[in-house]
Each structure stands twice: as structure tokens, then as C-alpha cells.
Structure 1
């Protein structure tokens, strides 16, 4: 009886060990990027992460230096038919118009108020800045944050009829999580307004407000009825686009990233700053090639133009993410 009992115990231990081995093996084989097709693009990402996280390996990067930066518009969520923040500004303009009767005969405001969608979509940089100054200032930072949050709750994209915060790219959400699971700190580095993004990036992307870098207008400190506030002024402070992105990264992070992800010429300098340096580096561009599930655009697009950076990707051996070929799904709500 004693031998039989020992045999049963040994068998149980062996079974448990085999079960644990199988479980660990199964966990190791779980795909961290299930919405990515098995293409060279996915392989390049996984290989890069493996190289910089392999302790004792020649390309190992300490966790403190594993910095990855992401553009927002067109890289993490939609930017067609216009930037989401521009859509927000246009709605703000319409809401504020009764207090500004002179806008009815002033451009670019007149076209917006008359419902000229094509004219609104073709606003140049000067027009957009002017619009931002008029609609984003004259309030405290807390008041602006509430306006943004309320708008995102009710606004709907004209094509997909969904909240803009649902029009985020599922493969990129997985990539953010995958990098963080491997010791990376992820930052958003966007030409969009930093105060426009901070109210929602943590909930949508898992990126905390202090890890969001963006364009800004000037603010000043005021005591209002005994309460300390920051008041937003109609004056530009910093444009976090093109050559501004490396400057913003350096001032906010203080470390050069080892990975950067963008989708347009506005991200060129961020990719150069990240990849043209010593050590293992990774640069990637999201190329919008899927007109059926999302949009197809590059060199001729008014928003998110990808021209010079697309050519630079070849010269610098950056990975070009082909949306149509590399992604199984685009949005979290797409059928699997």
C-alpha cells in the first residue's frame, strides 16, 4: 500500500509538472499582436523587441532607456476627412458664433458658418491656427478639459457614425500594450493640442497625461475668487510638429527614443532624431492603403501628407506598415 501511495504521489507531481510546462509553453506562444498579419512588418517589430530586451544580448537596452514615441493623428486614430481637433474647433466656432456676429463675413469663419464643408476641409495652416486661437482660448484649463470631454462624448465621425475615441487602430493599441509589457515607456508626440489630448489618452491608449507631448497655446496663472487657475490665452506657445517634435521630445522626456512611429511628413524629423544614432533603433510609418476599411492616401493628401517621409523610409530602412496588407482589422469594432 505504501509503494502504491508513493507511486500515486509521484504520478501526481509529474502530471502537475507536465501541466505547468504546457501552461507556460502555451503562454509563451500567445500572440501579443493578434490583429497583425504574419508579414515581415510584424516580424520586424517582434525581432526588434526581442533584441533590445534580451538580457546579456549584444543589443540589450536597459528599461529606463526603452522609450517609444507615437504620433497621434493618422498613427493611432483617424485623421480623415480632417483632423479630429479641427472638427472640434469647427463645432466650437458654430457654438460661439452668436456672440461674434462679425464672423459671418470674415474668413475662414464665414465658410464654416455657411456650411461650406469643402472650404473648411481645405483650410491652410494659418487658417487653422487662427481658428484654434479663437475657439480654444479665453477659459481655464479645467474648463477647456470639460468642453473637450463633453464634445467627445457626443460628437460622431461623419463616415463611421461612431465616437472618435472608437476610431482608434486596434493593431496600434496592441503594439502600445506589447511594448509596455516589455518594459517600454510609451509617449504620444503629436502636432495636435496637448490639452486637447490629455483628457482622454489614458483611458483610450493607456498613455498617461504626463506622457503626452503636443502643441500648446500660452497660459498664465490667475487667482479667481480665491481659487488658483491656469487661464488659456489666444497666443501660440509651441508647435509640436516637424522640427518641433525632436525639441519637444528632448524638453519633456530628456532621452532619445529607440523607437518611433508616425504616418506623415510631420513625423519625419522625429523619425530621424530617433533612428539616426548609435545602437539598435526602430522607425515605422503607417501607410494608409485601405480605402475600403479606412482611407487610402499619401503624397497628395491635404491632411497627413506622406511624401518626403515615404521616400526617407527607404533610405533609412524604416518599416512601412501597409494598412491593407499588415492589419487583419483596423478598428476594435471590426469583425474578426
Structure 2
């Protein structure tokens, strides 16, 4: 009997598509939703072409504390470029960045961050920008965990992305972060190709440089994919209303509400950061990833709220 029980447990462990998710209502809600929208002939069946799943990035697929990782990149870039820009010592937001005051930069939100990136990288080609981002990801280390930033992705969410794709879903990132920044690592980190990343963007211009056509970045913000901009971005770049949406902050609320407003079965998920030991615990008062009105709305509407401490067996993948 003990042997049979052990074998049954081993079989379940091998067949469980979400081993980093603790057994409980959240995991059941995910698997039941996937089962009903993929059951051919069922009342809630959704054709594969319409199985669109969207995920915020910062705080939903990877960590975002103590500052957004793209902000950490921007701060490092400002410091590296400062010798060629002495005027930055007296010009905000560069003055605060050089003094090591990220709070002033965070106060400007995603739009302010995009403006910083647009100004600091104006004139650079998109290819050169990608190389700089890749180099930074290869060398920069997170101040708390002493790991590359792109290793601080959530193991349970990686499993969920794989599980969804195995069931005919197309997975997208829809984030306030810069689209060209995220596209550098999204495919390797999450299995999400560049064309399935929707984010904030700066203006680029086609130029002929020594007989070669390139896209050059300009010092202008074109689109901010945050708050009400997220449904707009989904409509513009995806063209279908998702049936599954995951976020973690008030900046995701409109995306979650718009997804929920569609016909048929819908899954709306919120990651609630409650684990100060393995990650961080924050919500209503946080300057980063504030979760206040979206949390209230999630409770009111019966969205699936993931308690990181209670619902996840592990947070990050094992150290390589």
C-alpha cells in the first residue's frame, strides 16, 4: 500500500504542470479555467486562435524592487554617459540620478523613465541599444540577491507560461517597460518572442548611414503602455481581447478590467507580494508596484489573487 501511494505521488509529481504552485484554490482555478476553455465541444470552449494570454512584466513575471530593473539600467547608463554631459550635474532628472536619488526618478513613473531613456539614447540605432542592454544584463548584479537581473524571474510564472502554450495559448507581455529593453531578454527568459512583447516606446526614424538603412532613436516618447494605455496597446498590437490577464499593480487594473469585460470564460490574476523573506512584501503604500485600487477591485470581482507567500512553493529558479 505504501509503495502504491508513493508511486501515485511520483506519477502526480511528474504529470503536474505547475509544481512550483502549492495545491489549493489558486492552482485549481488556473487548471480548471484552462481545462474548460480547451475542452472541444464544451460550453466554454475557445478556439486556439482566440486563446490570448497577457502578462505584465515588472512584479508579475520578474521582481521590481528596490527599483524597476529598467530604472537600474537607466541609472547605470546615466553614470556611464555623464562625463560627456557635464550639464547633467545641474539638470533634472539627471542631477538626482548622479546623486544616487532614484526616488525622484520613480516619482515620474513610466513616462518619466521613458523620457530619460529617450534623451540618453537619442541618435543611437536600435541595434546598438539592444547590444548595450544585453551587455548590462550580462554584467549587472541585483543589490540584494547578487544575481543577474534576468535570473530574478518567477519560477511559478515560467511554469504557467509553458502550461498555457502547451494548451494552445499565445502568450504576450504587456508592460509599461520599454519595449526595446524587454525584447532583448524576453525570449530567452520567458519563451516569449520579440513580436509578442507590447511595451512603452520611443520615436524611431529610418536613416541612411553610410549606405546602410538603420532605425535611429529620437529623444521623444511615442507611447506609454501603462494604466489605460494597456488596453489601447493590446488593441493596437495584438488585435484581440485576451481571455487571460495577469498583473500585480494598479497600473494593470484597466487591462484586467477590459479583459474581464469580454464575453465567455475569463481568467484574471493578480500577484500579491506578501513574502518579505523570499522576495518582498508590499502593496498599498509602495512607490514601486503599488497595489491598492486593483486589489480592492480584485476582491470585489472575485479575481484570482495569488498570495506569493502562501501559493508559491518557490519564487526564483535555482541558482545556475
User: 1:204: how far off?
Assistant: 0.6
Q: Distance in 2 between matches of 1:64 and 1:27?
A: 30
Q: Does structure 1 conserve the Cα–Cα contact (< 8 Å) formed by 2:119 and 2:220?
A: no
Counterparts of 1:167 and 1:334, CA distance in 2? 10
Structure 1's 125 and 144: CA in aligned 2 closer, same or farther, altered over 3 A? closer
Match of 1:220 in 2: 205
334 and 163 in structure 1: CA distance in 2 versus 1, 3 angstrom threshold: closer
Is 1:60 matched up with 2:45?
yes
Instruction: Work out which of the residue numbers 78, 83, 89 in structure 1 matches 2:68.
Output: 83
2:186 to 193, 201, 217: 201
Give 1:19's aligned residue.
none
Q: Is the 8 A contact 2:241 2:262 kept in 1?
A: no
Asked if residue 238 in structure 1 is aligned to residue 220 in structure 2, the reply is: no
Q: What count of residue pairs does the alignment treat as equivalent?
A: 313
- Cα deviation for residue 131 of structure 1 reads 1.9
Matched, 1:92 2:84: no
How far 1:195 sits from its partner (Å)? 0.3
- Provide the C-alpha distance between the structure 2 equivalents of 1:175 and 1:150, rounded to a whole number of angstroms: 28
Corresponding residue of 1:279: 264
Corresponding residue number in structure 2 for 1:113: 98
Q: Counterparts of 1:282 and 1:137 in 2: how far apart (Å)?
A: 40
Q: CA RMSD in A?
A: 2.0
SS of 1:237's equivalent?
Answer: strand
Change (3 A) 1:120 1:217: closer
Which secondary structure does the structure 1 equivalent of 2:156 belong to?
helix
More off after superposition, 31-40 vs 136-145: 136-145
Task: Give, in whole Å, the separation in 1 of the partners of 2:18 and 2:125.
Answer: 40
Question: Structure 2: how far apart are the matches of 1:60 and 1:28?
Answer: 27
Q: Check conservation: 1:298, 1:306, Cα contact below 8 A.
A: yes
Counterpart of 1:247 in structure 2 is 232
- Structure 1, residues 275-317: CA drift from partner, whole Å, max 9, x if none? 1121000000000000000000001111110011001102221
Q: Are 1:141 and 2:126 an aligned pair? A: yes
- Contact 1:89 1:136 (C-alpha < 8 Å) held by counterparts: no
**TM-score, normalization: structure 2?**
0.93
Q: Which residue of 2 aligns with 1:184?
A: 169
CA drift of 1:112 comes to 2.0
Following the alignment from structure 1 to structure 2, what is the Cα–Cα distance between the partners of residues 64 and 125? 31
What is aligned with 1:101?
A: 86
Can you give the 5+ residue segments of structure 2 that lack an aligned partner in the other structure? 1-6
Residues 119 and 244 of structure 1, relative CA distance in 2, 3 Å threshold = closer
1:311 alignment counterpart: 296
Compared CA separation, residues 118 and 76, structure 1 to 2 (3 A): same
1:160-190 per-position Cα deviation (integer Å, ceiling 9, x unaligned): 0100110000000000000000000000000
Q: Is the 8 A contact 1:71 1:189 kept in 2?
A: yes
Could you list the per-position Cα deviations for residues 231-290 of structure 1 after superposition, in whole angstroms to 9, with x for gaps in the alignment? Answer: 100001100011111011011111110000000011011101111121000000000000
**Deviation sequence 1:58-96 (CA, Å, 0-9, x none):** 111110100000000000001100100000000000011
Query: If you compute each CA radius of gyration, which structure gives the higher value, 1 or 2?
Result: 1
Question: Is it true that 1:39 corresponds to 2:34 in the alignment?
Answer: no
